Amino acid sequence: MSKNVLKKGIFALLMCFCAVGASAQDGHLKMAFSLAEAQQYAVEHNRTLQNAAIDIQKAQASRWQSIASMLPQVTASASYSNMMGYKMDLGQIQISMPPYATFNVQTALALSGAQIVSLGIADISRKMADISLEKSEKEIADQVETLYFSALVTEETIRLLEENLESMRKLHAITQNSVNVGVAEQTDADQLQVQVATMESSINSARRSLEMVYNSLRLQLCLDEDVEIALTQNIDDLLNLGTTAALLSSEFDIENNYDYRLLKQNTELARKQIALTGWSNGPTVSVYHQYSGRHNFSDEPTMNMTPPNMIGAQLNIPLFTSGKAAAAVKDARLAYQKQLNTLEDTELALNVQHHQLVYNLRSAIEKYEIQKQNVEVARRVFDNIAKKYEYGVASSLDVTNSGTNLISAQSSYVQSLLEIINAQVSLEQLLNK
């Protein structure tokens, strides 16, 4: 048993244990994943990848069809004939034509340049299927990573909003008590009540967004809608700015890029099409051997003119096609030239894209560092004004404004987290990391 098979078996067993660990309260299945576990589970169960694996098998079958077409082909046939007592009249002689059965076995072999070129095309198709499978696996893993981070970021958003809500509820309660004893205006309490309601609405909206993210993650993992997903890692575990920054200095090897590799194979396919088009109008050589057996269902003398063994060979050479063959080859050459131009343009575009993605990631890191500090400052300002408000030094408007600024800073911070993840995943896809 190979190590990969053993690893897959252990992983599947662990997943079974996770699935069996149902919640005692609601009876729903609950599965816990780290990021790596979620990616591996998606790769093993995603039906898109299963279809890509089937494409590889189809390409392999097509290749063997091309090989088989160049190997001997054997066919057998049997027949029965009955001329209903007819006798061939040759004047002085009559020859009986009794019922008879025949059995033929023919072995044939045909070779042409087009068959050899087709074998090369089948090899290219298989390579493209392999690359497509690798690309699909990478895309699925990246999508899972993005959704995993999105869920964590949304949960962080809810946590921050709930902290703000707790503070605003406390201030509203203090204000309402002050109104009740006649030392504060009702409008101050109403302003804070509106702020509390706004935060509650924001939390509910974030929870709905979180459920949408989990539903998307279930789709990637091919899980039923009633399966509860638990994430075992948090943002601090996964957000490694040192590793992220290391991507900025990674060299871009275009030969590792899946899109470029596919396009390069497609260009080679276009080149092969030139040869295939030319050889489609080339000579074809075929040889065959035929064995024929005959059995008469009568002892009467009769005539048998069929030889038991026969061999033959044939050479077909197209001589004149009125320019059709030349035009077809020219068309294939032009298609190949277009493909070369597309390959060069893609190479240039990918290099430009690399520079842009490096810039995007660097900007995202800088923005994250700034927004992280901004949230800390906005929190201190809010806490300071909240204390002043409790002692009657600050107004309810000051509290509302500082609360709004805090929410805005937190929103920018959360957005900067998503920007880092998106920029990192995009660069990793390009670099095939």
| pLDDT tens digits along 17-72 | 343 333 434 456 889 999 999 999 998 888 878 888 888 888 888 888 888 888 88
What confidence score (pLDDT) does residue 150 get? 92
* Cα–Cα distance, 280 to 114 (Å, whole number): 5
Q: What would you measure as the largest C-alpha separation in the chain, in angstroms? A: 144
- Continuous H helices in 78-185: 113-180
What was the pLDDT predicted at 16?
Answer: 39
Predicted pLDDT of residue 28: 63
Question: Cβ atoms within 10 A of the Cβ of 176, count?
Answer: 16
CATH number of 41-72+113-283+320-431: 1.20.1600.10
Phi and psi (nearest 5°) for 150?
-60, -40
> What's the Cα-to-Cα distance from 15 to each of 20, 116, 385, rounded to whole Å?
9, 48, 50
In tens, the pLDDT along 383-417 reads: 898 888 888 788 878 888 888 898 889 889 999 98
Q: Can you state the angle between helices 47-68 and 113-180, rounded to 10 degrees?
A: 180
Q: Where are the alpha helices (DSSP H) in 222-323?
A: 235-238, 241-246, 258-279
pLDDT at 10: 34
Mapped onto helix, strand or coil, the DSSP state of residue 322 is coil
DSSP state of 247: G
- Cross-strand pairs, 74: 107
Question: Are the C-beta atoms of residues 248 and 74 closer than 8 Å to each other?
Answer: no
Q: Which residues of the chain have pLDDT under 70?
A: 1-28, 183
Q: How far apart are CA 64 and CA 163, in angstroms?
A: 65
- DSSP-derived letter for residue 71 is S
| Residues linked to residue 290 through DSSP beta bridges, in sequence order | 106, 310
pTM for the full model? 0.75
Q: For the chain, how many residues are written?
A: 433
What is the helix, strand, coil percentage profile of the chain, to 5? 70, 15, 20
The pLDDT value recorded for residue 68 is 83
